[in-house]
Amino acid sequence: LYVVFEGTDNKKLKVNKTLLIITLFSIGTFSLNAQSISFDEAVDMALKNNLTIKNKLLVAEYQNKLKGTAYDLPQGNVLAEIGQINSNYFDTKLSISQSFSFPTIYSNQKKLLNENWNASVLSVSISELETKKAVSGVFYHLIILKEKEKMLLQADSLFTEFIAKANLRFEKGETTILEKTSAESQRGTIRLQLKMLQSDIEISQLQFQLLLNTTTKLEPKSEDFKVPLSAIIGDVSNHPNIKLLEQQVVIANANKQLEKSKLLPDITLGYFNQSIRGIGADDVLYNARNRFNGGQIGVGVPLFYKAQKARINAANEAVLIGENELEYGKLQLSTELQSALAKHDNNLELLSYFENTQLPNATLIYNTALQQFTAGEINYLEWTMLHNQALQIKSNYMDALKEFNDNCIQINFLINK
C-alpha cells in the first residue's frame, strides 16, 4: 500500500485520501525482468530438461544394452598338435571346441536382464513423479513468498513516508521523539523481515532453476494460490514405487530360477582334423596329405554343488525379502495417504475460517483504523497496532495456505497424479 501524507496540525497527521491506494490484500505482479511460466509449462520443462531424469534414462538405456549379454559364450579352444601321435611317423592334428551352458541358463539370463531393464524404466517413472512433486512445491512456495514480499514492501513504503513526516513534525516540536522512534523501529523490523524473505526467495528461485535445468530466471504465474487436488483414489497400488517393489520381487524370482538352472550340465562340442601316416587297418598306405575328420561331444556334470545350492538358498531368501518390502511399502504409502487426507480436511477447515472470517475482519480492521487515523480519532501508536494485526492475519493465512498446498502436493504424489 502507498500513502501520501500532506500538511500537519498539532495533534494528528492528515492523509490525502485521493492519493491513497489500498492494495494490502490484492494480488501483485512479479518482477518485470523475469520471464513468467505457468505450472504446466514448468512441469513439462522439468520433465524434458531435469538432469536426474536424464540420468535415469541413461541407466535404462544401459540396462537395455546389457540385454545383449544374455548369450555370452566362453572363448572357444583351437589346438594344433604335431608329433608321434599315432605311430613313429610325425602326424599333425588340428581341433576346435566350444563349451556352453545348458540352453535353459541362457533363457533365464535373458529373462533376468529383461526384468532389470523393466526396473530401470520404472525408476524413470519414479524420478518423473518426484520431479513433478518438487516443481509443485517450489512453484507454489515462490508464489506465496512473492505475495509476502509485496505485503512487506507496501508496509515499508508506508512507514518510510510516515518517518519523513514524523521527522518534520519532530523538528517543529509538534510531537515527541517516541512517535518518530517507534516508526523507525517498525520500519527496521519490516526491512529485516524483508531481507530474510528475499533471501528465501533467492534460494527458492535457484532451486526452481535447478529443477528445470535452466539459467533463465523464471517467475511462476498462477491465477490461484491453491494447488489443484486430483480426484482421490484410495489405492496406492498404481504408485511407481509400489510397481518397482513388485518388479524387485519379479527380479528376485528370475534370479532364483537362474541359480537353479546352473545345476544343469555344461555342453562341449568339438571337431578335429588329423593325419594318420602309415598302413591303415584297410591295408592302405596313408601319407600326411590324407586327412581324417571327427567330432567330439562332452557333458560337464557338477560333482561338487554345495556352493551352488547355497546360492539357490540365498536366492530364495531374496524373494522373501522382496515380498516383505513390497508389503511394507504398500502399508507405508497407504498410511501416508490416509494421514494426508485427514490433514487435508483440517487444512480445508482452517482455510475456510481464514477466508470467511479472519480475512474479512482484517480488511475491516485495516480500513477502519485507516479512516479513524485519518480523521484524528486514534493516534499513530494505536494505528500501528491495528495495522500490524491486519498484516499478521494475512501472513498467517499465507502460512496456512502453504501448509495446505504442501499437503495437496503430497496427496497428488501418493495417488500418482
CB-count exposure of residue 147 (10 Å: 0-12, 13-18, 19+) = buried
pLDDT at 416 over 70: yes
Residue 348: predicted pLDDT: 93
How far is residue 229's CA from residue 237's CA, in Å, rounded to a whole number?
19
Q: How confident is the model at residue 14 (pLDDT cuts 50, 70, 90)?
A: very low
Mean pLDDT over residues 251-266, rounded? 95
Q: How many domains does the chain have?
A: 1
Q: How confident is the model at residue 314 (pLDDT cuts 50, 70, 90)?
A: very high
Cell of 369: 483504523
Cell of 82: 604335431
Residue 376: predicted pLDDT: 79
Q: How far is CA 362 from CA 116, 187, 207, 365, in A?
A: 58, 21, 33, 5
Q: Which residue has the higher pLDDT, 368 or 85?
A: 368
pLDDT above 70 coverage of the chain, percent: 90
How far is residue 152's CA from residue 154's CA, in Å, rounded to a whole number?
5
pLDDT at 402 over 60: yes
Q: Which long-range contacts (CB under 8 A, 24 or more apart) does 182-185 make?
A: 182/380, 182/381, 182/384, 183/159, 183/380, 183/384
Residue 25: predicted pLDDT: 37
Mean pLDDT over residues 340-358, rounded? 94
Whole-number average pLDDT of the chain: 86
Q: Are 169 and 175 in contact (CB under 8 A)?
A: yes
User: Which of 375, 387, 102 has its CA nearest to residue 265?
Assistant: 102
Residue 234: predicted pLDDT: 63
Mean pLDDT over residues 116-135, rounded? 96
Residue 175: predicted pLDDT: 67
Residue 278: predicted pLDDT: 85
By residue range, what is the domain housing residue 186? 5-414
pLDDT at 26 over 70: no
How far is residue 381's CA from residue 386's CA, in Å, rounded to a whole number?
9
Residue 5: predicted pLDDT: 29
Residue 239: predicted pLDDT: 93
Q: How far is CA 222 from CA 41, 138, 143, 219, 378, in A?
A: 11, 13, 8, 10, 39
How far is residue 124's CA from residue 59's CA, in Å, rounded to a whole number?
9
How far is residue 348's CA from residue 393's CA, in Å, rounded to a whole number?
17
How far is residue 307's CA from residue 52's CA, in Å, rounded to a whole number?
40
Residue 155: predicted pLDDT: 86
pLDDT at 110 over 70: yes
Cell of 349: 477447515
Cell of 178: 517516541
Residue 413: predicted pLDDT: 93
DSSP 81-122: EEESSSSSS-EEEEEEEEEE--HHHHHHHHHHHHHHHHHHHH
Residue 394: predicted pLDDT: 93
Residue 157: predicted pLDDT: 86
For residue 360, give every residue at least 6 positions away whose Cβ sits within 8 Å of its Cβ, in sequence order, or none: none
The torsion of the CA quartet 51, 322, 232, 125, rounded to 10 degrees, works out to 20
CATH code of the domain covering residue 153: 1.20.1600.10
pLDDT at 395 over 80: yes
Q: How confident is the model at residue 174 (pLDDT cuts 50, 70, 90)?
A: low
pLDDT at 337 over 90: yes
Q: Are 206 and 214 in contact (CB under 8 A)?
A: no
Mean pLDDT over residues 404-410, rounded? 95
Strand 266-275 versus strand 291-300 pairing type: antiparallel
pLDDT at 19 over 80: no
